[in-house]
Amino acid sequence: MKNYIVWTNCKIEERGAQFGIGAAGDPAVTAAYDRMFEISRASARQNIRGRWEEIVLDETCESRVEMFQKNWTKIHDLWHAAPCNILYLDSDTITVKPVEMFGRFPDFRLFNWTDPPRNEFFDNYFNAAVRYYPSHMNPRVWAIGNELAANWRLDIWDQEQLIFNKMLWEQAVSWEDAHHPELNWQAPTGRSLPELNAHSNFNTMPLGHARIIHYHGSRDHLRGQYLAEGLAAAAGIAF
């Protein structure tokens, strides 16, 4: 059985800000994300246990939202090509402590709230920066996702996250089993490690208990790169 960790690190053509986020085609943004990806991959190589192979999706996209849509298709096709477990990590995640992922969960998983933690559709709205697709997930869950993905809207920033939450909560997953904030610890603000501790209450655990941290690089690419480098240095990750 193959285990894969998948990232996306591709050229994005957009030249104007979208959804209040700086243009991904800006060379400074591209360089920062390249750096964040390198650190995310180095941290996974050091800390995600088991035997696994890495895949980097690098097809050029017109925009971030088009990238999300293409990611959906590529991961769907990878999972259906042959039995495998897939862990997807956004470039702005860093694995700061050893962690078991493969073979641990029987269902499709997201792990922690996003910011904000609820919306009109979900009382518990989970973040999609870290997601796990086990080889034996119920095909019905894919069918739920495919039905929504068939009408993908590129004018909604979190379209993919809405789809993934629908997939997650349509399963027989209890809140107690679903919520693993240590596997996607949210740090949407803060420019230093001490400042990140302000999010401990939101995450229901201190930063020191986190194993995978998502620091929301899209909110400020330079902050993201700075945090990635600082978190990696503190965790002893060579990059």
CATH code of residue 200:
3.90.550.10
Q: What is the mean pLDDT of residues 101-114?
A: 97
pLDDT of the residue at 53: 98
> How many domains, the chain?
1
Q: What is the mean pLDDT of residues 131-148?
A: 96
Verdict on whether the full-model pTM lies above 0.95 = yes
Residues 103 and 152: their CA atoms lie apart, in Å, by 30
pLDDT of the residue at 229: 97
Residues 22 and 219: their CA atoms lie apart, in Å, by 8
Of all residues in the chain, what percent are helix, strand and coil, respectively (each to 5)?
A: 40, 15, 40
Mean residue pLDDT of the chain comes to 96
Placement of tokens 């860093």 in the chain? 94
pLDDT of the residue at 75: 98
pLDDT of the residue at 23: 86
The answer to whether residues 30 and 81 touch, using CB atoms and an 8 Å cutoff, is no
Domain of residue 37 covers: 2-235
Q: Quickly state the pLDDT bin for 17 (edges 50, 70, 90).
A: confident
Residue 216 backbone class (left: φ over 0; alpha: ψ -120 to 50; beta: rest): left
pLDDT of the residue at 181: 98
Count the neighbouring beta carbons within 10 Å of the beta carbon of residue 153: 11
pLDDT of the residue at 188: 96
Q: Is the pLDDT of residue 196 over 90?
A: yes
Share above pLDDT 90 across residues of the chain, in percent, rounded to a whole number: 92
Q: Is the pLDDT of residue 22 over 90?
A: no
Instruction: Report the range of poorest mean pLDDT among 16-25, 73-82, 87-96, 147-156.
Output: 16-25
